[in-house]
Amino acid sequence: MSDHDHPHERHGHGSHHGHEHAEAPAFLPHWMQHRWTVITVGGAGLFLAIGFIGERLFGLPPSVALVCYVAAYVCGGFDVAREALPAVFRGKFDTDLLMLAAAAGAAALGKWPEGAFLLFLFSLGHAGEHYALGRARNAIGALGELMPRTARLKRGERIEEVPVEQLAVGDVVVVRPGDRVPSDGTIAAGESSLDQSAITGESVPVSRKPGDDVFAGTINKENALDVKVTRLARDNTLARVMRLVAEAQEQQSPTQRFAERFTRRFVPAVLGATVLVIVVPPLLRHWTWADSFYRGMLLLVAASPCALAIGTPAAVLAGIAQAARHGVLVKGGVHLENLGRLRTIAFDKTGTLTTGKFAVTHIVSLDGMTETDVLRTAAAVEEQSNHPLAAAIVEAAHHRGVRFPRASAVENLPGKGMRARVEEAPVVIGAWRAFEEGANGIPVRGQVRQLEEAGQTVVVVQRAEKFAGLIGLADQPREHTERVLARLHDQGIARRIMLTGDNTSVARAVASRVGIDEFRAELLPEKKLTVIRDLQAQHGPIAMVGDGVNDAPALAAATVGIAMGGAGTAVALETADVALMGDDLTKLPFAVGLSRASQRIIKQNLAIALGVIGLLILAAFACAIPLSVAVVFHEGSTVAVALNALRLLAWNDPA
- E strands, 243-398, where? 328-330, 344-348, 354-365
Round to whole Å and give the CA distance between 429 and 420: 9
Helix (H/G/I), strand (E/B), else coil: 9: coil
Round to whole Å and give the CA distance between 248 and 643: 21
Round to whole Å and give the CA distance between 259 and 250: 15
Q: Given the DSSP bridges, would you call strands 542-546 and 344-348 parallel, antiparallel or unpaired?
A: parallel
* Burial category of 350 from C-beta neighbours within 10 Å (exposed 0-12, middle 13-18, buried 19 and up): buried
Name, in order, each residue with C-beta under 8 angstroms of 522's C-beta and a sequence gap of 6 or more. Answer: 500, 501, 502, 503, 504
Round to whole Å and give the CA distance between 648 and 653: 11
H or E, element range at 108:
helix 95-108
Q: Given the DSSP bridges, would you call strands 560-564 and 542-546 parallel, antiparallel or unpaired?
A: parallel
The candidate with the shortest Cα–Cα distance to 493, out of 337, 601, 341, 352, is: 341
Contact 459, 361 (CB under 8 A): no
Amino acid present at 264: R
Q: Which one of the listed residues 96, 171, 184, 348 is annotated catalytic? A: 348
Contact 327, 200 (CB under 8 A): yes
556 phi/psi in degrees, rounded to 5: -70, -35
* Sheet (strand 225-229) strand order: 158-163, 150-155, 172-175, 225-229, 185-189, 213-214
DSSP letter, residue 186: E
CA distances from 335 to 113, 252, 380 (A): 46, 10, 51
373 is catalytic: no
Distant-in-sequence contacts of 571-574, Cβ < 8 A, 24+ apart: 572/547, 572/548, 573/240, 573/241, 573/244, 573/329, 573/548
Which residues are tagged catalytic? Answer: 348
